Chains A and B, each alone.
Chain A
Amino acid sequence: MAAEVGGDSGGAKKGKKQSKARKPKKRPRIDMTPMVDLGFLLLTFFVLTTTMTTPNTMPVVVPPKITEKEEVEPPKIAEGKVITLLVGRGKIYYYTGIEKPELFMTDFSPKTGIRKVLLNRREEVAQRYGKPDEMIVIIKMLEEAQYKDFVDILDEMAIIQQKKYALVDITEEEKGMVEDYKKAIRASS
């Protein structure tokens, strides 16, 4: 290039001739393919590893433990507002009221499961007491239950926006009721 700068037309001609003789100056072309390959490989890797698996948390509040020293009377609640859920592995046994309860069974399926039961009960409570948020859910976990069942039932409370619920220890009587229910099912099938 420098040869072309300055000089007359003759000189320029001469220069052209000279440049023909010279090795043509070429911009070196770098093959970028491997770099691009590597680039996309890394990109894929990072995209896949970030998979947005940010864990979330579900807040739980449990009632304080009642020590033997304190004398706390259990709160009195109207029988008609209560539904008690006995949660087993993927199955929920439930009864309403307190006296001589009849046990039913359901599961976690979204359309026909526990959600429907709870919403129906809420409807009943609403008709009787006027306000749907009067319903009280008592959750008792059976020993056969897994952690998933526990999360599912708390989740169910969040889904139907049930504010009044309590996690209570299961009684021997209720365990017996579930056992009897299972026996009855086995006998009938």
Chain B
Amino acid sequence: MAKFKVKKRNIAIDMTPMVDLAFLLITFFMLTVKFRAPQAVEVNLPSSIADTPLPAQDILTISVSADGRIFFGVDSKHTRLAILEKIKDQYGYKFSEEEAKIFSLLPEIGVPFEQLKSYLSYSEADRKAIDKRASIPVDSANNQLKQWILFARYSNPKIRIAIRADEKAPYPVIARIIETLKEQKVHRFNLITTLEAQPKS
């Protein structure tokens, strides 16, 4: 009996092809992944059936938080530095090299010009705390968003304007922004949304 007993053996599966495939996929995803740039303001985008992808460059984003605070951002470092130059010229603020460097790395900014210098001198954590309540003024008496857009369009004439607003953002704020854009003869802009399935007619 003992002679016919099937020998218990550990079955060794050759895992090499699987590992190969796994690493191939990892490489693929690592190379294709594009991390979202950290944003100064959390935005819950509304969905729409619009399926035109957002261009990757030459984009000016006007972000609006759920409580209606406005932030401004441009995508390239180059443009940011050019904008900072314009702010220097226009308002006579002086920025150190360090501050300019910090500014060039900020994806979005939400402080009025008067506070910009002190904002740049703070630590990152302090800046985050300020971002929680900051907003660019858009009142008709002191429309700084208009200035920001003007500087950005001077710095990069090709720039396209996109509004990235939270779905709960109050409409009057959006209306103010559209009004500001109209004042600058910008009649064509984009609303950033997430994709939703097209309903069947």
Pick the contact of A143: B169, B171, B185, B188 (CB < 8 A): B171
Q: List the A side residues contacting B175 at CB < 8 Å.
A: 141
B14-22, B109-117, B139-147: which lies at the interface = B14-22
| B50 CB–A CB distance under 8 Å | yes
| B165 CB–A CB distance under 8 Å | yes
Asked if B192 and A65 make an inter-chain contact with CB atoms under 8 angstroms apart, the answer reads: no
Asked if A39 and B19 make an inter-chain contact with CB atoms under 8 angstroms apart, the answer reads: yes
Asked if A159 and B198 make an inter-chain contact with CB atoms under 8 angstroms apart, the answer reads: yes
Main secondary structure of the interface of B (DSSP, over half): mixed
B121 to chain A minimum Cβ distance, whole angstroms, is 33
Bound state CA distance, A43 and B30, in angstroms? 9
Asked if B15 and A36 make an inter-chain contact with CB atoms under 8 angstroms apart, the answer reads: yes
B41-49, B81-89, B90-98, B125-133: which lies at the interface = B41-49
Pick the contact of A36: B19, B172, B192 (CB < 8 A): B19
- Residue of A with least CB distance to B64: A147
Bound state CA distance, A147 and B44, in angstroms? 11
Kindly identify, within residues 122 to 171 of chain B, every residue whose CB is under 8 Å from any CB belonging to chain A: 162, 164-171
Pick the contact of B45: A55, A59, A142, A152 (CB < 8 A): A55
Q: List the B side residues contacting A53 at CB < 8 Å.
A: 36, 194
| A72 CB–B CB distance under 8 Å | no
- Residue of A with least CB distance to B196: A155
Q: Other CB < 8 Å A-B pairs besides A46-B30, A50-B29, 9 of them?
A: A55-B45, A55-B193, A57-B192, A57-B193, A58-B192, A62-B182, A147-B170, A151-B46, A167-B178
Q: Which residues of A contact B (CB under 8 A)?
A: 32, 35-36, 39-40, 42-43, 46-47, 49-50, 53-65, 110, 141-152, 154-155, 158-159, 167
